[in-house]
Amino acid sequence: MRSIGFLVFDGFQVMGMAALSVFEVANVIAGKPLYDIHILSKAGGPVRNSLGFSIDTAPMGDVFHDTTITTGSLTVKPAPPALLDYLRGAVTGSRRVAGICTGAFVLAEAGLLEGKRATTHWGHARSLAQRYPGVRMEEDRIFVQDGNIWTSAGMSAGIDLALALVEEDLGRDLARSVARAMVVYLRRPGGQSQFSTLLELEPKSDRVRKALTYARENLRNELSVEELADAARLSPRQFSRVFRLETGQSPAKAVEHLRLEAARAMMEEGRHPMEVIARETGFADRERMRRAFLRTYGQPPQVLRRAADNERIMGTA
């Protein structure tokens, strides 16, 4: 059984604890204890979180767990010295050390991110890079693995990091089962942008939002204006007008962005040939996908695929 040491301190951001549900659900699905979770603080006892209520903790002591995870706080502040000392020991005493959201600041303060690739919440990424110039900040990543050090973006990205840890430990099938049980739409690969196409479009009406959700879930379809309008229960003419008014772009351009986002995610996984990616994301063929990548990213998909492959190699080195 693998032990998880989850480090907290006064005022820690409570959303970070959502990552622990991944390990809890893994135990339930497996029908046996795969993970033993320990919530730790300097001296043990009750520790108040960002919402003002307390949770019981055990003292950190001098015992290290298989995986040590630290969360952060909504307002970045210096970490307790005892916590930093514990993390410095955990980098060799634990198999893996992770920082969720602004927990990356805690890892950086402990000196664990010097020369390492890392990420954090997009709203704090530049601050971390300025404060710790030795960190190789990748501010638009969901999570980053560099050796045995893992960091994640903010809020729900801690769940993605935890799912990746489960996948590394116990395989892709179990991680997917956990994601389904938690009603997580998709375990996002680490290299995926923190900003999703649906968030950037910011549709205001339920009808346009429904059409975009339909498009994302049916990328292999043609996704013509008529098909999307039918999903939104609007006439094609009315749908095109409302869609552009709410999102600032045409339905065709929005669909292309959704296809590109899905294609990049599949490339990050590294398991599919380009022909399969083009077919599954609705580009139909590699050439059409290549042109879309050049228009949007200024690079062909092969270049981005090689970068993703190199990132995985570096992460496991």
Spatial separation of the C-alpha atoms in residues 221 and 278, rounded to whole Å: 12
194 given a catalytic annotation: no
Give SS3 for 37.
strand
Residue with tokens 């080195």, as numbered in its chain: 317
Question: Under DSSP, is residue 309 helix (H, G, I), strand (E, B) or coil?
Answer: helix
Could you tell me the two tokens for 285?
């063929």
C-alpha span between 167 and 313 (Å, rounded): 16
Which positions ≥6 away from 243 have C-beta within 8 Å? 203, 208, 211, 228, 250, 251, 254
- Report the residue count for the chain: 317
φ, ψ (nearest 5 deg) of residue 218: -135, 45
Catalytic residue from among 101, 112, 174, 254: 101
Question: In angstroms, what CA-CA distances link 71 with 121, 207, 245?
Answer: 12, 38, 40
Angle between helices 236-247 and 206-217 (to 10 degrees): 100
Helices (H), 95-156: 103-109, 125-131
Q: Which residues are catalytic?
A: 101
